[in-house]
Amino acid sequence: MEKRSIIHMLDPMQNNSPFDINMALDAGFDMLIPYSNVKLDNIHGLTQDAIFSRGPSGVKRTGIFIGGRDLGLAIDMLNASKQAMVPPFEISVFADPSGAFTTAAALVACVEQQLKVKHGKDLKDCKAVVFGGTGPVGIATGVIASLAGADTTLIDHLSIETALDVSKEYNRRFGCSLKGACASSEIDKIRLVSNTDIIFSTAKAGIRVLSASVLHEAKQLKVAGDVNAVPPLGIEGINRNDFGTPVIYAVNAQGAVGVGALAVGNVKYKLQHTMLKLMLETDKPLYLDFRDAFNKAREDIKI
């Protein structure tokens, strides 16, 4: 009799995400075991308990999902779990804290696709700014865009020190070239968008980040992507379902188009589903993070 599939969902926070639990169940796992308040030094023991209890055939039906909100900690946990494996007792591990890795991968891939289709350009040809850039999705978006070659700036709405510290930390972690900036006023925002090609809006839900008056000054804007689906939307004039729709308020830009939250969300949902199913279908263990998510998102939208 084939053993049931199990995914151990490790989270450093007080509660596991219901979204991730639903996604894992819909991807085909039979059993979902949530763990909360997990510390980094717990990972080794939890991993070895998971691998040694099922035998060589059972480990193929076992996986670990790492959640939380701290991207750096999630990567550290993934690496700690990988180091705890003892082949042939080895299982797949997928890190997606707050869904940030799959959301950011979907956002950057959608923007990249529109950049190519509408403007014939690559990310490496462009300057990008990430509003809400010091939150989980913003950081992941910035890292992915920077590693893909874009000249990328993370923007915090309150503190230049926060933006610079976050940029420095993730440049060290991943070898990217992020910059940091602060935009606490409309004047700051105008200064930042006036010579940028790409705008990523990843701020908290229900917060209008860019108004029509700011977009008027985005003279070389090519693509703007927004992940906020809760009114008021993050970028004025970009609707939830937009995918390559003209940005009506970027009147001084030539052919600027927008990507809305539901267009990104559709790609993100399919992407997370695919990544979870890969853990069930693979014959060898996988260690999945934002890089794998971005590669898969590019495949899915045919870049």
Would the pLDDT of 32 be above 90?
yes
**At 116, is the pLDDT very low, low, confident or very high (cuts 50, 70, 90)?**
very high
Q: How far is CA 55 from CA 2, 46, 59, 142, 287, in A?
A: 12, 16, 6, 41, 20
Residue type, 258: G
Point out which residues pair with 89 in neighbouring strands.
86
21-28 mean pLDDT: 96
54-81 mean pLDDT: 93
Looking at the chain, the whole-number percentage of residues with pLDDT higher than 70 is: 99
**Residues 157-211: tens digit of each pLDDT:** 999 999 999 999 999 999 999 999 999 999 999 999 999 999 999 999 999 999 9
**At 59, is the pLDDT very low, low, confident or very high (cuts 50, 70, 90)?**
confident
Residue whose C-alpha is closest to residue 277's, from 46, 96, 31, 27: 27
pLDDT value of residue 1:
59
31-36 mean pLDDT: 96
Burial of 72 (0-12, 13-18, 19+ CB in 10 A): middle
pLDDT value of residue 3:
85
pTM over the 0.85 mark: yes
Would the pLDDT of 38 be above 90?
yes
Would you call the peptide bond into 87 cis, given omega within 30 degrees of 0 as the criterion? no
Question: Domain residue spans in the chain?
Answer: 6-99+268-300, 103-264
92-99 mean pLDDT: 97
pLDDT value of residue 54:
85
User: Quick one: DSSP state of residue 256?
Assistant: -
**Residues 122-144: tens digit of each pLDDT:** 999 999 999 999 999 999 999 99
Neighbours of 232 (CB within 10 A): 12
Strand order in the sheet with 6-10: 31-35, 6-10, 62-66, 92-95, 287-288
**Residues 148-163: tens digit of each pLDDT:** 999 999 999 999 999 9
pLDDT value of residue 232:
95
Would the pLDDT of 2 be above 80?
no
Give the contacts of 276 (CB within 8 A, at least 6 positions apart).
Answer: 7, 23, 24, 27, 28, 29, 65, 94
Would the pLDDT of 85 be above 70?
yes
**Residues 244-278: tens digit of each pLDDT:** 999 999 999 999 999 999 999 999 999 999 999 99
**At 56, is the pLDDT very low, low, confident or very high (cuts 50, 70, 90)?**
confident
Residue whose C-alpha is closest to residue 224's, from 264, 188, 186: 264
Please name the helix (run of DSSP H) or strand (run of DSSP E) that holds residue 106, with its range, or none: helix 100-119
Residue type, 133: G
Tokens matching residue 69 = 């909100």
**At 19, is the pLDDT very low, low, confident or very high (cuts 50, 70, 90)?**
very high
pLDDT value of residue 303:
66
Tell the CATH topology of 6-99+268-300.
Rossmann fold (3.40.50)
Would you call the peptide bond into 232 cis, given omega within 30 degrees of 0 as the criterion? yes
Residue carrying structure tokens 């992020």: 178
User: Quick one: DSSP state of residue 169?
Assistant: H
Q: Spell out where the chain has E strands.
A: 6-10, 31-35, 62-66, 92-95, 127-131, 151-156, 179-182, 198-201, 223-226, 243-246, 257-259, 287-288
Q: Are strands 243-246 and 257-259 parallel, antiparallel or unpaired?
A: antiparallel
Q: 103-264, which class in CATH?
A: alpha beta
Q: Tell me the pLDDT of the chain averaged across its residues.
A: 96
6-99+268-300 and 103-264 agree in CATH topology: yes
Would the pLDDT of 212 be above 80?
yes
